[in-house]
Amino acid sequence: MLRFSLFALMTVAASTCLSQSFWAPVPQETTSDNNSLRPLSGAEPAFWFLPDVLGVGPAVYSDVAPEGYTLAESQSCVAQVVSYDPYCLDTGWDDLCEEEYLCCVGEDEQLILGCSNPLACNFDPNVCVSQPISCVFCLGSCFSLTLTDSYGDGWNGATWSFTDGDGTVVASGTLADGFNALAADCIDDGCYEFEVSGGFFPEEIGWTLDGSDLGTLSGGANESVAVSFNGTSGCMSPNACNYDEGACSDDGSCLFLQNGATDMTAHSWELFYDFGCDGEIDQVTLYFAEDFTAGDSDGTSAEWSLCGDVLTLFFDGEVGYVGSWDGLGFVGNIVNPFAGCFELYPTSLGCTDPAACNFDADATVFDGSCTYPGCMNPLACNYDALAGCEDSCDLPGGYLLGCINPNSSNYDPSATVDDGSCDLSYMCLEGTVYDPALMGCVPAGCPGDFNFDDEIDVNDLLEFLLVYDTLCE
């Protein structure tokens, strides 16, 4: 354009002294009441009028249409143009003012400020007002943030900010005054939380962010959005085996089961936990589901992952239990909500009382099957029909247990009650053994093996025929 306004000259001068990394300044409103859409004091509501012939006069804000002027189609765009370019209000509405105005109308009544230098990383081909000093030249990432206020008096206490993963605010600012402004700068690659607060008039606030991995984002006050610049994608669930703490976006790759030591969902599990590891053990039954949730018999819920042979239980996203597979179950530590120790084993029914006859060291849940020692002799005074294994008996006077068979090698002449211990094995010939139940000798091998070679064949038949039909003495 041939016309250089005071604004344009200031822009060129500023571009020679400001650094390449820039927070674009916001021009202050003039003292004229014609600078906004507010009604004139004590008058009828006013409107913006534009000259019928460009350059013959400035934009006029009045409650009456001046001669040679026409009511502006877009009141909002005129207000933005004169707020940002005072020449259009103080001197004349010329071709440059009209160009900015038409651009605003074509962009849904948004006067886009920005950098029109194709070499800048925040180059915007759609700008209505080119700001050379707003251009940033970065080796890495940059962002461009357009700030708007529908009333034209700035954000009234609202602010914007970028916060990194460590909670550090790396960039922030506000719209101090006017309808719009531009903030642009270089920013390190990574993940950020972009936030805009509310201020006193949140309904007036608007913003548009360009340059992040998500493309163009727009919004208003009291909004927060996770953004990234050249950020990596990966699994973002801390519960997963392949959690990537450096990922900025989730790619759906999360795995909660990798090389599992056992099938957690095949049966219930018994959890033995000891807060403080002081020997005071409590027990609860756990049930693991295929959606990687778990619940216990007391109604507590958790999430779980099994990575290799390490099982982790999470409560509200926090690590609670971590244990390793030992071949039978999981043994490990409690880290939340209290420190302690735990063991987790598959549910196994059986007798869990060490004092019982049928105590099962592998059983984790009592099934009521325990039996206990007692006297199993019906002749005893303390006979116990429910005894599971032998204990001492209280026999009446004159009763003495032992072998009462005189032919037995262990005959006890003082015994009065046979205890089934008689031994007549000395009577058995070669190849036979004594059977106490039958009280006689039986072949040591299989029946019919007459030559005792552990085989029944024709040779055994010949042995039998040799003695067939003979009389035994």
State the CATH number of the domain containing residue 325.
2.40.128
User: Is residue 450 included in any domain, yes or no?
Assistant: yes
Tell whether 245 and 345 lie within a shared domain: yes
Tell whether 312 and 344 lie within a shared domain: yes
User: Is residue 390 included in any domain, yes or no?
Assistant: no
pLDDT at 445: 66
Structure tokens at 219: 């919004």
pLDDT, tens digit only, all 473 positions of the chain: 333 332 332 332 333 222 222 222 233 333 333 334 434 444 568 999 999 999 999 999 999 999 999 999 999 999 999 988 999 999 999 999 999 999 999 988 888 888 889 888 888 888 898 888 889 899 889 999 999 998 889 999 999 999 998 899 999 999 998 888 889 999 999 999 999 998 899 999 999 999 999 999 999 999 999 999 998 889 999 999 999 988 888 889 999 999 888 999 988 999 999 999 999 999 999 999 999 999 987 888 999 999 999 999 999 889 999 999 998 899 999 998 789 999 999 998 889 899 999 998 888 878 788 999 999 988 888 999 999 999 988 888 778 888 998 988 899 998 888 888 888 888 888 778 877 777 778 777 676 776 777 778 878 777 777 777 777 65
Tell whether 246 and 367 lie within a shared domain: yes
Tell whether 365 and 439 lie within a shared domain: no
Tell whether 247 and 312 lie within a shared domain: yes
Tell whether 313 and 367 lie within a shared domain: yes
pLDDT at 456: 80
User: Is residue 256 included in any domain, yes or no?
Assistant: yes
User: Is residue 126 included in any domain, yes or no?
Assistant: no
Using DSSP bridges, classify how beta strands 160-164 and 169-173 pair: parallel, antiparallel or unpaired. Answer: antiparallel
Both ends of the chain: CA-CA distance in Å? 145
Closest CA to 79 of 41, 36, 130, 108: 36
Buried residues in 263-294 as b, exposed as e (16+ CB within 10 A): ebeeeebbbbbeeeeeeeeeeeebebeeebeb
pLDDT at 472: 65
Tell whether 144 and 75 lie within a shared domain: no
Tell whether 348 and 467 lie within a shared domain: no
pLDDT at 30: 33
Tell whether 71 and 146 lie within a shared domain: no
Tell whether 246 and 219 lie within a shared domain: no
Tell whether 152 and 26 lie within a shared domain: no
Tell whether 181 and 74 lie within a shared domain: no
- Domain boundary (229, 254, 282) is at 229
Question: In Å, how far are 44, 56, 82, 154 from 30, measured between CA atoms?
Answer: 22, 21, 10, 14
Please give the Cα distance from 206 to 197 (Å, whole number).
11
pTM of the model: 0.48
Question: In Å, how far are 35, 153, 233, 247 from 237, measured between CA atoms?
Answer: 52, 43, 12, 10
- Find where tokens 């070679």 sit: 453
pLDDT at 165: 87
Give the total residue count for the chain: 473
Residues of the domain holding 462: 432-473
pLDDT at 411: 93
Query: What's the structural domain count of the chain?
Result: 4
- Domain boundary (229, 246, 261) is at 229
Find out whether 107 and 74 touch, Cβ atoms under 8 Å: no
Q: Which residues are CB-contacts of 468 (< 8 A; sequence separation ≥ 6)?
A: none
3-state secondary structure of 414: coil
Find out whether 123 and 115 touch, Cβ atoms under 8 Å: yes
